Amino acid sequence: MKKYNVGILGATGAVGREMMKVLEERSFPIGELRLLASPRSVGKKIEFMGKEIEVKLAEPNAFEGLDFVLGAASNAVAKELAPHIVKAGAKFIDNSSAFRMCDDVPLVVPEINAEDAKNSKGIISNPNCSTIITLVAVNAINKLSKIKGMIASTYQATSGAGAEGPVELENQMKAIVNGGEIENKVFQYQIAQNLIPQIGSFNDDGYTTEEMKMQNEGRKIMHLPDLKVTCTCVRVPVVRSHSISVTVITEDKLSVEAVKEAIAKEKGCKLYDDVANKVYPMPLVTSDQDLVFVGRIRQDLVNEGAIALWCCGDQVRKGAATNAIQIMEVLVEE
């Protein structure tokens, strides 16, 4: 079996480390794994498949000899180093938002538009985590009848803000129990025992940058240029896994039974819907695995013919690390 040389840009962060874990779990055929990070992480050693790998500096000459580079760094780092990655002949699969809406950069969820990944000029973008989870959940519905619009509310875990998010939540919970001082550094308000209805900055229409990703990225991924999405993104005091409530408006009226049957067969999904026995997706059920759990499927009572559902998925894995590696697997298969 041919082996591939893979680099991870931003290897010491939460997503970078998860990429290493997923690569090992999925037995990806790796020749060399090159871990790249900022100067403060250079020299650190991280274990991978029983061996310790030393972290090297992420700089323009660091990519020679690599077949793929998995991006888990900031927008600024991705933009700075992408030309050097492409020049070195590697495919850059980037988890930042730097290139998502560029016309010549595919934006890929392999269960939905794997073919797009094969038409890149060297850069392929990983979508927003909530967008990935939501679109995997509704893709089966779109196959039954074209989706015209969605009304979504996301309930996003603290780890979506980086490794320090859950730490701040835990520290605040301890402070509440022990009567200590509550500090906000990662989030703009206290997150413990609270919800924050803002992720990203607001635009002139009152929507945040995070909320508009669902519509803008959804149009590109699903090849639905007229898709309309009203989205509200909320940070919740959960450690891991994002949850989304979605009303899906389709061209044709669909039965709940047909939708459940389609979702049960859909790749990347797990139908988890038995309300009589209190079976429905939750963050604790969906963490540390790669399927999107879908449940609470029912007819919408306001939009005639629309379907309402609830889904959950691990945003560090399927919403980031695993999706990137699945894209790499598509390219390897080709």
Contact of 94 with 7, CB cutoff 8 Å: no
Rounded alpha-carbon distances, angstroms, from residue 124 to 2, 117, 121, 248: 22, 7, 8, 28
Tell me the Ramachandran region of residue 275: left when phi exceeds 0, alpha when psi lies from -120 to 50, beta otherwise: alpha
Task: Choose among 206, 219, 204: nearest CA to 127.
Answer: 219
Of the residues 129, 231, 269, 311, only one is catalytic, namely 129
Of the residues 84, 231, 242, 312, only one is catalytic, namely 242
Contact of 154 with 128, CB cutoff 8 Å: no
Rounded alpha-carbon distances, angstroms, from residue 57 to 12, 14, 289: 12, 18, 31
Measure the CA dihedral 8/5/325/212, to 10°.
Answer: 50
Task: Choose among 213, 219, 190, 217: nearest CA to 201.
Answer: 213
The conformation of residue 320, written as its DSSP 8-state character, comes to I
Q: Is 242 a catalytic residue?
A: yes
Question: Tokens representing 298?
Answer: 């029912």
Q: Is 102 a catalytic residue?
A: no
Contact of 112 with 222, CB cutoff 8 Å: yes
Measured CA to CA, the distance from residue 145 to residue 130 in angstroms comes to 22
Please give the positions annotated as active site: 129, 242
